[in-house]
Amino acid sequence: MQGLSRRSSNGAISAALEEHIERADRTRHLNGFTYRNDEAARERAAELDADPDACPGGLLRGWVGVIKDSIHVKDAPNSAGTPLLRNFVPQKDARVVTAVLNQGAIVLGKANMHELALGTTSNNPTFGPVRNPYGEDHSSGGSSGGTATVVASGAARFGLGTDTGGSVRIPAALTGLYGLRPTTGRYPGHGVTPLCSSRDTVGVMTRTMADLDIVDQAISGAAANTPSPVESGLRLAAPSARYTDELDPEVRRVWLDSVQALQDEGITVAELDTSIPDALDDEWGMDIVFAEAYSELQKYLAEFVPTLTLDELLAGIAMPEVAAAFAANRPASEKARELMELQARSAKRAAASEYAKAFSATGTSALIFPTTPVPAPRLGVDDENVLVDGKLCPSFNTLTRNMKPGSFAGLPGITLPAGVSSVGLPVGLSLDGPAGSDRRLIAIAGFIDGVLAKAASSSRTI
């Protein structure tokens, strides 16, 4: 399929699309999609097959994608996973969708998600629970769980999700995918149902690192700015102990094996004290989410769904934990909300500054750590809690623990598959880089991916 990005190929684009549609049909029970438009996708594929001048040279020519149901696609419902937005149909594509379409992509449909992007299970009562292709009684994570399931099951080549505090990287890790959260503000954000603009960003999921690289180029326009290849001698750093102290034994095994494989290849994995940005996120990270969410959802509804008020939207929330979170964190007044936002944004700038100083002072190219402390939890058994090394811990705090600090500071982050548990559930390894280092971070992730693949191959032959 790689050659389809360059030229028409006698119906090959349409044939490849049919394979994706067949896979989507066979995996319908996983509840990855909220909406599909097979005929529109077929028309798009036929146009690309028939006209070599349609999107000539497009990096994604003929690639089938799925879009999270909080990112606007023209003439497709945009529910954001919540009942009262099910009938909202945008009349324009989000700018990030326009970017991939201009590069020749085909949108097959919209992906299921955790309601209003506020959670990590994607156990959505409106559209059904999103199931993990690696274990159908397990979660695909959230909030972009449907995107992960669709891409991991082969029904799409790439997917777009959103990431406020891990919502792309958590599902990618739990389903064996590569997931990118770009530096905040690097991708266009207009036409996306908001949660917290100072943390929100669209992100990408793919089944290969090479595909992740290409989709990033297509969206960012960075094709001409590809960094030189990464060599051994790279300096990485494991952040504060909180990232690795409490891990499921299966995750700890994969983590330690990965570090050993990197060190065997001549890569330095040092330690780096990130306690200051970690503490700033602990104190202000969620405050800024709700300080901005109330204001930005109100503005969003006024622009796109003026017949619906924010109070009506919140009253219609279907997931009890999402409704409870909004109710518990509602600012007492607009003045209180504005003050909280100012304080939280100041803390965010301080966290970003601390990271920048730490990277610069130590010569560290990227932080490295387990993406999630546990493999995919069981779905619908106890969505509020998860067992971590024998301790019962809150699911949301556990799954987002390692993702939130870098997100709060606006750093780019990538998760890549590093291994599997004894029952075949994927385990992810994450990299966070300095703000603006996205292309360099992608190159580093590609190099590390090769090292881990080499180590896995060697272990199989012993």
Ranges of H-type helices in 133-248: 145-152, 169-174, 209-220
Q: Which amino acid is at 451?
A: V
Tell me how many helices (H) and strands (E) the chain has: 14, 17
Peptide bond into 143 cis (omega under 30): yes
End-to-end CA distance of the chain: 34
Chain CA centroid to CA 309, Å: 29
C-alpha to C-alpha distance for 228 and 222, rounded to whole angstroms? 14
C-alpha to C-alpha distance for 146 and 363, rounded to whole angstroms? 38
Phi first, then psi, for residue 288 (nearest 5°) are -70, -30
Contact 414, 406 (CB under 8 A): no
> CB neighbours of 24 closer than 8 A, spacing ≥ 6?
32, 33, 36, 108, 109, 150, 153, 155, 156
- The residue among 141, 31, 24 whose CA lies nearest residue 425 is 141
Ranges of H-type helices in 306-394: 310-315, 320-328, 334-362
Ranges of H-type helices in 206-274: 209-220, 249-264
Which residues are tagged catalytic? 68, 143, 167
**What burial letters (b/e) apply to 212-248, b meaning 16+ CB within 10 Å?**
bbbbbbbbbebeeeeeeebeeebebbbbbebbbebbb
Angle, vertex CA 403, rays to CA 69 and CA 375, nearest 5: 85
H/E/C letters for each residue in 48-75?
Answer: HHHCCCCCCCCCCCCCEEEEECCECCCC
C-alpha to C-alpha distance for 335 and 53, rounded to whole angstroms? 55
